[in-house]
Each structure stands twice: as C-alpha cells, then as structure tokens.
Amino acid sequence: MATDKKTIESYSNYAEQWAEYMRAGKNIAHEYLEKPAMCKKLPNLHGSTVLCVGCGTGEECEHLRSLGAYRVIGIDISSGLIELAKKSYPDCEFMVMDMEHLDLPDDSFDFVYSSLVLHYIDSWNDVLVSIHRVLKKGGKFLFSTHHPVVYGAGRTRTEDERASLLGYIKHLKLGTCTVLGDYYSPRKIDDIWFGNLEISYFHRPMDALMRDILQSPFVLTDFEEPRVDDRAQSVDPVFWEVRKKIPLFVIFELKK
C-alpha cells in the first residue's frame, strides 16, 4: 500500500508549521536522536550527486548541499511540502514524486538519503528496487525508520499521562494473562502528531523489515539502533531518560 492520501494531504496543509518546527529545532526526537546518528554515517559528499527521498520542506537537502554535494535533488509526495522547499532552498532541486516509482534516470546518484519516511508504506519492495536502479554502482542508501519495538507497543494518551507498554501481566490465581501491545501483527496506525497533524503509518516487526532488505538487490552494510544524545538531558529530561534505555528509531545502510 502506498502512502495514505490523508497523510499526504495533512502534510501539505501542515507545511508551514512543519518547517517552523524543524528549523527551530523543536522536534526533540529529530534534533537529539535521529539526526546526530544519521549525520555520523554520512559519507564524504564532496562533488557527489545526492537524492533525498521524503525531503519534506528541504532542511536536510540544504544540509547535504552544505557538506559539498555537487547536486542535491529532494523528492516528496506532498506538493505542499515541496512548494515550500522550493521557496526556501533555491540551491537544491525539488520534485513531487512517489518514492516507489522514481521518475529519474538509471545510475544517476552517488548517494541516497531518507529520514523517517519508509514507515509510510507497508512494503519496501518497490521503493528498494526503485532506489537501487537510480544509484550508481557502489553507491549507498542510508535511511532511518520507526523502531518496531516502540510502535508495536500498546499506547495510551490522556491529559495527564502517556504510556507505551509492550509485555504482559500474569494473573497467577486466575491462570490468565493480560498482553500489552502487539509486536508481531503488521498494521496501519492512525495517529495525531504535534497536536493537529493527522497521519497514518505502518507497523511491521523487524523480521519483515529485514526480509524486504535481504530480498532486495542491495547488500546490507550497517545497522544501528541510535542512542539519544546527552545534550537532550538539559532540553527534555523525560525524553532523555526514556530514550537512553528504550529505542525509538532504527537506521539501515545499504550498498549497490
């Protein structure tokens, strides 16, 4: 299943808020967990042609360009995000495009980067084949996505509390148990982020993610469950305390 149409529309309508949130460093999970880990894995980009898949409002494209990339192309399926990216970062190129069906030439990129995008589709087969096709031989694809342990958990939210629980409670006298969460069952999850961004994404267990990678034309060269940066302790101590013990994202590096 491709990216949910409601999600695409939500991001288009939310583009201005998304850009402000990202550019101000207000997304704690991005700023102090995923981004530092992804940046450490970037190759030498000097003179490279780079594709950014799911580029949003373009901040990461600008960063990749600043590292010496010769040409950076950002694609996103949300026209609203791309419109704002074009206005904000004229030194990069931006296109509205489906990541599962890249309308780009074969063997045209040295490096492909994607941050927290692949969980919007329920199978990675088509996108991995498409990205492999546009990469040059020896090129790398670096991407991050949701960690299935977190999104397989049962989640509750109230005005006073938030809980994310994966485990079980045995009721010894009754001979029964209560199971919290469901790691193994693939499913579409409808959610609301940042108060009013309505989106849908897909949860799949790790073996399903690995199977898509191992059955693709790529070679898996690296895998990481990134740890939170200690700088987060002074910014959001609760986030820091949770994420120094429990993962949130996972990072894969693939090679053609």
Over residues 165-175, the pLDDT tens digits come to 999 999 999 99
Q: Quickly tell me which residue has 């004229």 as its tokens.
A: 90
Residue 242 has pLDDT above 60, yes or no: yes
CA distance 97 to 83: 13
Q: What is the pLDDT at residue 80?
A: 94
User: Where in the sequence is the domain holding 59, given as residue range(s)?
Assistant: 5-147+202-255
CA distance 17 to 93: 22
Buried b (16+ CB within 10 A) or exposed e, 88-121: bbeebbbeebbbbebeeeeebbbbbbbbbbbbbb
Rounded mean pLDDT of 78-85? 95
CA distance 153 to 57: 30
| Residue 182 falls inside a structural domain | no
| Residue 39 falls inside a structural domain | yes
| Residue 155 falls inside a structural domain | no
| Residue 184 falls inside a structural domain | no
Q: Nearest CA to 247 among 161, 142, 178, 164?
A: 164
Q: With cut-offs at 50, 70 and 90, classify the pLDDT of residue 34.
A: very high
CATH number where 139 lies: 3.40.50.150
This prediction has a pTM of: 0.95
Residue 156 has pLDDT above 90, yes or no: no
Is the model more confident about 138 or about 15? 138
| Residue 22 falls inside a structural domain | yes
Count the domains in the chain: 1
| Residue 75 falls inside a structural domain | yes
